[in-house]
Chains A and B, each alone.
Chain A
Amino acid sequence: MSFITAFGDRVFIGAGDLIRTFRIGNESVPELFISWSELNPDRIQKPDFEAEKDLKAVDKKVILCLAHSNVLFAHGRRLVAVGTNEKQIHVFEYFVDTNGVIVKSEHIVTSVVPKAPTAIVFDKEDAYVVVGDRSGDVHRFSVLNGSAIEMAGAISMILDVAFSPDGKRLLMADRDEKVRAMRYPSTYVIDAYCLGHTEYVKTLAIQDNDSVWSAGGDKNLYNWSIFDCSKPRRVVDLSEFDAPIRKISINLQYKKIAVVFEKKENVAIVDIEQEPAKTRALPITNETQCLDIASSGQFFITLGKSTITLIDLTCMKQHTIAIDDELISALTTTEDAVDNLFKNVTHNNQQEYEKRKAEKFEQLEQKRRKLNSKPASSS
């Protein structure tokens, strides 16, 4: 899997084990953000889970999720967090000069997650990263010291986590067609479930404190009230794109949602100001398969199997970012951690059972008839 995220004009890419960064408007080739040799061993948490023995040595480190801090306050820290297949969460901090050039980046903390992470987000104050994992748990990790607390869980793979802008609601999407809205940090209070998806929910985008968009395997884009989500407020049918939805990103300024599909070169740009929403297909130049998308300023930024492209929302023109061979290679060769999210019901217990039951009771009935007929024949 490969990921892209943006903060202001600063864009980050995670692909394979590479973390690269570039600035919009200063289009040099995305440069190395930090190398793994720069991890400070003193800041790597020892696992306090029983999962220690599960921490497998992997052939190659692969990034499984990527997030940037919110930096809501002037003194806010610029942090980048990644989760890897080694079941670790790494947080890095970077500092920029007045021209926006990164002057220093350093390793802050590394924590251990009990299962492979699938989704990551900073809470509003950037004090914690909240991480969803493959076994269905959501933990939060202190950016300060890496300590972990279990926040929520589902008996279903978590596919995305997101915060309302006020930071008071945590949303999680799972493979069982659900979006769950919980209070934060009192996540034991579940306020609502958004039910209506007919396949897995892969991706969330928050519009405001009472509006979330969700999408996934059923090819629809849903909008929900977070407080009262008994039914979807809006449904945008994107089945014409003929593929499960992989990622959505919202641009609040331009009131548009960009949609990336599984194994498709087209990005759908949905104008949510219109009712019904107007959708246009945008094939990404020189790309066969889009992987991820982020939003910043007047741009959507797409990451594909071999390209990074800025979509300018003022004119819908595309601008391709030059990238080097190492990054192209990482983008091309890195496979998704989970290749099929659709349910895999290998056998139909109910039907098999009903068939067996009918046979069994037929046999019993025959046996009974035989027994009953015996005395009659002997007399």
Chain B
Amino acid sequence: MEVNPVSTEMELDNKPTCETVPGLPQKKHYRQRAHSNPHSDHDIEYPLTPDHMDWSKQYGEFATGRRVEFADIGCGYGGLLMRLSPKFPDTLMIGMEIRVKVSDYVNEKIQALRKHHAEVGHYRNIAVLRSNAMKYMPNYFHKSQLSKMFFLFPDPHFKNKKHKWRIITPTLVSEYAYVLREGGLIYTITDVKDLHEWMVKHLSEHPLFERLTDDEMNADPVVEMLYDSTEEGQKVTRNEGEKWPAVFRRLPNPAL
């Protein structure tokens, strides 16, 4: 089932501030360095299996009868989630972020936004998890559960030796294919050309993915949101840097 974005009657304020939304956290108190070692043993609590995951902690009653369908991997300050939320108001979306402070900021922001819009129920479909997506994806999601995954401005890990730390590698893509349903999409964007080429190479070469054509990308209203919804994306715009998006479709498993 393909979900189409709705156009909300009132476009939500894309730049809420402490004045317009009381209780909104200030980013300056939540700055954290951009790297976290995904290989070390973090104190991350993750469910034994997806069935052990109580999503009502993230979405309250709104989780009843719904499953998470979108996952923003390394969601940073959560800009994309806030943009997507009113466009897909009935779809549960989760941001995964390994940095404690940053994920806490996103959570505080979502709580403030939800409270502010409590009457109409905006933002109750988005939430954040502090976790290590490279390690624990199958603990959270069932096979074929997700319809969209986002990798926006991921850590480029420039050094050759650290390429295997990148969030897109042939072996990790197989794990993403496991949680993504047939026809599901992986969205990527980066301002690092080398990383863009790396992601395109490994996703295109993976037998379970095919790249969307330019026409297909233009027809997808989500693509436009990849550029400027996140803090990273806005920074690149300010610095007049280039951005390279690429989208990939999950193909069916080959016959046994």
* Contact digits for A157-185, partner B, Cβ 8 Å, 1 yes 0 no: 00000000000100000001110001100
Q: With A50-B160, A350-B43 known to touch, is A186 a contact of B254 (CB < 8 Å)?
A: yes
Stretch at the interface among A7-15, A105-113, A120-128, A187-195: A187-195
Within 8 A of A (CB), among B126-149: 130, 132, 134-136, 138-139, 143
| A153 CB-CB contact with B under 8 Å | yes
Contact of B41 among A150, A195, A344, A357 (CB under 8 A): A344
Cβ-defined partner of B138 (8 Å) among A195, A196, A231, A346: A195
The answer, yes or no, to whether B175 is at the interface (CB within 8 Å) is yes
Q: What's the count of A-B pairs with C-beta under 8 Å?
A: 82
* In the complex, chain A residues whose CB is within 8 Å of the CB of B174: 152, 182, 187-190
Knowing A186-B207, A343-B41, A345-B42, the reply to whether A357 touches B104 (Cβ < 8 A) is yes
Closest 9 CB pairs of A and B: A153-B171, A195-B49, A190-B178, A193-B138, A155-B134, A353-B100, A188-B174, A348-B43, A343-B41
Interface residues on A, range: 35 or more
User: Is the CB–CB distance between A154 and B207 below 8 Å?
Assistant: no
The reply to whether the CB of B35 lies closer than 8 angstroms to some CB of chain A is: no
Q: How far is the CB of B253 from chain A (nearest CB, A)?
A: 5
Does residue A98 face the partner (Cβ distance < 8 Å to B)? Answer: no
Contacts of A231 in B (CB 8 A): 49
Residues of B within 8 A of A137 (CB): 171
- Interface of chain B residues 114 through 173 with chain A (CB within 8 A): 130, 132, 134-136, 138-139, 143, 160-161, 164, 169-173
Contacts of A211 in B (CB 8 A): none
B135 touches A155 (CB 8 A): yes
* A178 close to B138 (CB less than 8 A): yes
Q: For chain B residues 77-129, which have a beta carbon within 8 Å of chain A? A: 100-101, 104
| Cβ 8 A contact of A188, one of B132, B135, B206 | B206
Nearest neighbor of A357 in chain B, beta-carbon distance: B104
For B173, list chain A residues within 8 Å (CB).
Answer: 188
**Do A350 and B130 touch across chains, with their CB atoms under 8 A apart?**
yes
Of B130, B134, B175, B208, most buried by chain A (CB within 10 Å of CB) is B175
Q: Which single residue of chain B is at the shortest CB-CB distance from A360? A: B29
A210-258 CB contacts (< 8 Å) to partner B? 230-231
Q: When A188-B177, A348-B43, A350-B43 are in contact, do A156 and B206 touch as well, CB less than 8 Å?
A: no
The interface residues of chain A lying within 8 Å CB-to-CB of B29 are 360-361, 364
Nearest residue in A to B45 (C-beta to C-beta)?
A350
B39–A198 contact, CB under 8 A? Answer: no
Alpha-carbon distance between A190 and B253 when the two chains are bound, in angstroms: 10
Cβ-defined contact, B48 with A154, below 8 A: no
Partner of A183, one of B42, B104, B138, B256: B256
**Chain B residues at the A interface, C-beta cutoff of 8 Å:** 29, 38-39, 41-43, 48-49, 51, 100-101, 104, 130, 132, 134-136, 138-139, 143, 160-161, 164, 169-175, 177-178, 206-208, 253-254, 256
- A197 closest partner in B (C-beta): B48
Q: Which residues of B contact A155 (CB under 8 A)?
A: 38-39, 132, 134-135, 172
Chain A residues with CB below 8 A from B253, complex form: 189
Query: Could you say which residues of chain B place their CB within 8 Å of the CB of A168?
Result: 256
Once bound together, how far apart are the Cα atoms of A188 and B135, in whole Å?
Answer: 17
A and B contact pairs by CB, cutoff 8 A, 8 listed: A137-B171, A154-B135, A155-B172, A177-B48, A345-B42, A349-B43, A350-B130, A353-B100
A230 touches B49 (CB 8 A): yes
A349 in contact with B100 (CB, 8 Å): yes
A153 to B43, CA, bound (A): 22
Residue from A137, A155, A347 with most neighbouring chain B CB atoms (10 Å): A155
Report the separation of the CA atoms of residues A343 and B104 in the bound assembly, to the nearest whole angstrom: 24
- Chain B's nearest CB lies how many Å from the CB of A74? 28
Q: Which residues of B contact A350 (CB under 8 A)?
A: 43, 100, 130
Q: Are A353 and B101 in contact (CB-based, < 8 A)?
A: yes
* Chain A proximity of B212: nearest CB distance (Å): 20
- Bound-state CA distance A337–B138 (Å) is 29
Known: A343-B41, A349-B43. 10 other contacts (CB 8 A): A137-B171, A154-B135, A186-B207, A188-B177, A189-B254, A193-B138, A195-B139, A231-B49, A346-B41, A360-B29
Q: Give, as a whole number of angstroms, the nearest-CB distance from A67 to chain B.
A: 22
Say how far A364's CB is from chain B's closest CB, in angstroms: 8
**Chain B residue nearest to A151 in the complex (CB):** B171
Q: Tell whether, in the assembled complex, residue B49 and residue A196 are in contact, meaning their CB atoms are under 8 Å apart.
A: yes
Query: In the complex, which of the residues B39, B171, B173, B178 has the most CB atoms of chain A within 10 Å of its own CB atom?
Result: B171
Q: Which residue of B lies closest to A156 (CB)?
A: B135
Residue of A nearest to B160 (CB): A50
Contact A153 B172 (CB under 8 A): yes
Q: How near does chain A come to B165, taking the closest CB pair, in angstroms?
A: 9
Nearest-neighbor residue (CB-CB) of B178 within chain A: A190
C-alpha spacing A198/B49, complex, angstroms: 11
| Inter-subunit contact B139/A347 (CB<8 Å) | no
By the criterion CB–CB under 8 Å, are B48 and A198 in contact?
Answer: yes
